[in-house]
Amino acid sequence: MRLEAKELASLIETLRRDGYEVVGPTVRDGAIVYDAIEGLEDLPRGWTDEHAPGRYRLLRRPDNALFGYVVGPQSWKRFLLPPRVRLFSVRRNGDQPEIIADASAEPPPKYAFLGARACELAALAVQDRVLLGGPYADPIYRNRRQDVFVIAVQCTQAAPTCFCSSMGTGPKLSGGYDIALTEVVEGAESWFVAHAGTEAGAARLAALGAPEASPQDVARAEEAARRAESMITRRLNTAGLRERLAENFEHPQWDDVARRCLACANCTLVCPTCFCVTVEDTSDVTGSHAERWRLWDSCFTQSFSYIHGGPVRASIKARYRQWLTHKLSSWHDQFGTSGCVGCGRCITWCPAAIEITTEAEAVCGFPPSSLRSEQA
Ligand code: SF4
Ligand code: SF4
């Protein structure tokens, strides 16, 4: 199906009318962030993003593309696994505590995600496995996740920080969406080739009454998608990576990276798969009301591994090693998949410009793949 901007606007409008909170990209504070979208005017029309290790900035595009950027600092996890959520509140009722609010019982927002990229859908699948697989599903995540309607957008450009093709997660969309859009820029404006991934997506597309995409339209969309693939220069050699990382626990590279790492936790907060949380209890001065909150935490904080008398991972070296080996090695043991989807956010948003790809390959003794591919 071929959609013009007005049909995309109508898709957003009908989703909102049907009770969805449409969340999509918008420009705020010099970045493209995900927030509630009311219409096309909220999208980052004519903006693009520039990425490098430790560097991000927005630039104007020469056209009015609506999705002409790569990825922002946020991921969809902030809506499904909120950074701060009140688990319950309790008040004193005589001698007995009485629960007056319980997050797992509250009606969840009904989200429609607009603009999800292939690596982000892979990250959602990883979080589904972590938070819904096994005997202990997270009720808050489950409630928020179950009715999400996903409108994915095919990447048509890539940043020098992207390495999704090494992780097998992109840039081509391969599932996990209700509707997939590929934006084709023509002159100053753009149009979309859309196809459905589910019956719900097909029904919504059919309701728009848009014409079928011609073979030429489809060819233009495929060409735009191939452009993103050809722009990816960063690689991560994953052959034997999991085993080599586990075998090189005392490699001197861990000391080297620890001298540069600030333990700021940025990499874990921007990562679409990191899921660690902590709980915090608060009570009022009268002792009659208390609340338990769940907050994002990070394995880079010293307090994260504190156990009766001291942190298990007291040094930055131990904490960086824990993070990287968990992502690329022990995540496989725990969840049967890599914990990294190659989105590159931890590289862009690291103030010390540390690159997970370079560090992992150095520890494993692999020649640096990205350098080699850039030289080729
Ligand atoms: S570890 Fe880095 S590149 Fe991998 S998914 Fe997380 S933020 Fe993205
Ligand atoms: S690797 Fe970079 S982003 Fe992560 S904790 Fe260290 S300095 Fe911060």
Determine the Cα–Cα distance for residues 376 and 367; give it in Å rounded to an integer.
14
Q: Report the pLDDT value the prediction gives residue 375, as an integer from 0 to 100.
A: 39
Nearest to 92 by CA among 366, 283, 269: 283
260 alpha carbon, closest ligand: 2
For 43-83, how does the pLDDT look when each residue is reduced to its tens digit (9 = 90+)?
A: 999 999 999 999 999 999 999 999 999 999 999 999 999 99
* Atom 6 of ligand 2, nearest CA residue: 261
Q: Is 330 helix (H, G, I), strand (E, B) or coil?
A: helix
pTM, two decimal places: 0.95
Q: Report the pLDDT value the prediction gives residue 373, as an integer from 0 to 100.
A: 43
Q: Out of 257, 267, 276, give the residue to mutate to test ligand 2, the one with the largest number of ligand atoms within 8 Å of its CB.
A: 267
Q: What is the DSSP-derived secondary structure letter of residue 238? A: -
**Total length of the chain:** 376
Beta carbons of 358 and 370 less than 8 angstroms apart: yes
Q: Report the pLDDT value the prediction gives residue 371, as an integer from 0 to 100.
A: 54
Name the residue ranges covered by the structural domains of the chain.
2-231, 241-375
Q: What is the DSSP-derived secondary structure letter of residue 95? A: T
Name the strand (E) or helix (H) holding 190: strand 189-196
What backbone phi and psi angles, to 5 degrees, belong to 242? -55, -45
54 alpha carbon, closest ligand: 2
Tell the residue number behind the tokens 């938070």, with chain if given. 131
Per the DSSP assignment, residues forming a β-bridge with 84 are: 295
Residues with CB under 6 A from ligand 1: 270-273, 327, 340-346, 356
Atom of ligand 1 nearest to the CA of 267: 7
Determine the Cα–Cα distance for residues 117 and 122; give it in Å rounded to an integer.
9
* Atom 8 of ligand 2, nearest CA residue: 264
Q: Report the pLDDT value the prediction gives residue 374, as an integer from 0 to 100.
A: 45
Atom of ligand 1 nearest to the CA of 347: 2
Q: Which two tokens stand for residue 285?
A: 């001065």
* Atom 5 of ligand 2, nearest CA residue: 263
Per the DSSP assignment, residues forming a β-bridge with 113 are: 23, 150
Determine the distance separating the centroid of ligand 1 and the alpha carbon of 206, expressed in angstroms: 36
List per-residue pLDDT tens for the chain, 376 residues long.
Answer: 999 999 999 999 999 999 999 999 999 999 999 999 999 999 999 999 999 999 999 999 999 999 999 999 999 999 999 999 999 999 998 888 898 888 777 789 999 999 999 999 999 999 999 999 988 999 999 999 999 999 999 999 999 999 999 999 999 999 999 999 999 999 999 999 999 999 999 999 999 999 999 999 999 999 999 999 999 999 999 999 999 999 999 999 999 999 999 999 999 999 999 999 999 999 999 889 999 999 999 999 999 999 989 999 999 999 999 999 999 999 999 999 999 999 999 999 999 999 999 999 999 999 888 754 443 3
Determine the distance separating the centroid of ligand 1 and the alpha carbon of 101, expressed in angstroms: 35
Determine the distance separating the centroid of ligand 1 and the alpha carbon of 12, expressed in angstroms: 29
Beta carbons of 304 and 298 less than 8 angstroms apart: yes
